[in-house]
Amino acid sequence: MSLRGRRVIVSAGPTFEDLDPVRFIGNRSSGKMGFAVADAAARQGAEVVLVAGPVALPTPANVTRIDVRSAAQMHAAVLAALPADVYIGAAAVADFTPRAVAPGKIKKQAGMDTLVLELVRTPDILAEVAVHPRRPRLVVGFAAETDHVEQYARGKLEKKQLDLIAANRVGVAGSGFESDENALAVYGRDGFERALGPAPKIQLADNLLELISTRLG
């Protein structure tokens, strides 16, 4: 099965939410899984747009890369890249961002033992793409969980109105965020279920894209 003639948008990596000109709130996503997914889609013949958070990874061959930093920028870049046949949300998007970015470096004062940050919710890019007027035929999410992986993943599948969700356990050695290997459990809203790996992220990405291309028909 080939993805020739299909347009695939992939989001990958973390987002950085700035507090001031020198500090940000980030997360441990390396971007490796999302970049492997973009690479696999391109190798299977798709036209690929990769919306990448701040990561130090080379751009896969035959992939159009759009670099962003914050959840707000990723949101804008993904929506601007529509329409597409497939959207794969592999980014670890910040759920909250500071209400305001301080114009200068936040200074600690004598006697200041605590600092309270006010954070506001970011847009849920994946959930928005799934109900967008230009909704791709397949909307695929990732769920990184430390526990109750299946239960939380299936919950997100329903709540965000996805077609597929690829779940993995994070916080265990040899899988998840910073590793080159991973194991995925893929669930579909139609009851579909498939375990992929443990295997190198490159191979998992190939398997996931084969699965996606079969479902596109």
Q: Which residues bind ligand C5P (CB under 6 A)?
A: 11, 71, 89, 91, 93, 95, 122, 124-126, 141-143, 156
CA distance 91 to 190: 24
CA distance 169 to 161: 22
**Which CB sits closer to ligand C5P, 156 or 201?**
156
Sign of CA dihedral 30, 52, 60, 78: positive
**Which CB sits closer to ligand C5P, 36 or 125?**
125
Report the nearest approach of ligand C5P to the CB of residue 109 (Å): 33
Give the position of tokens 């990448």. 52
Q: How far is CA 210 from the centre of its chain?
A: 19
CA distance 68 to 54: 7
Q: Which residues are catalytic?
A: 27
Report the nearest approach of ligand C5P to the CB of residue 40 (Å): 17
The answer to whether 61 touches 39, Cβ cutoff 8 Å, is yes
CA distance 91 to 96: 14
**Which CB sits closer to ligand C5P, 19 or 93?**
93
**Which CB sits closer to ligand C5P, 105 or 150?**
150
CA distance 148 to 145: 7
Report the nearest approach of ligand C5P to the CB of residue 141 (Å): 4
- Residue from 77, 99, 80, 86 nearest 19 by CA: 99
Report the nearest approach of ligand C5P to the CB of residue 88 (Å): 8
The answer to whether 196 touches 183, Cβ cutoff 8 Å, is yes
CA distance 144 to 8: 22
Report the nearest approach of ligand C5P to the CB of residue 70 (Å): 11
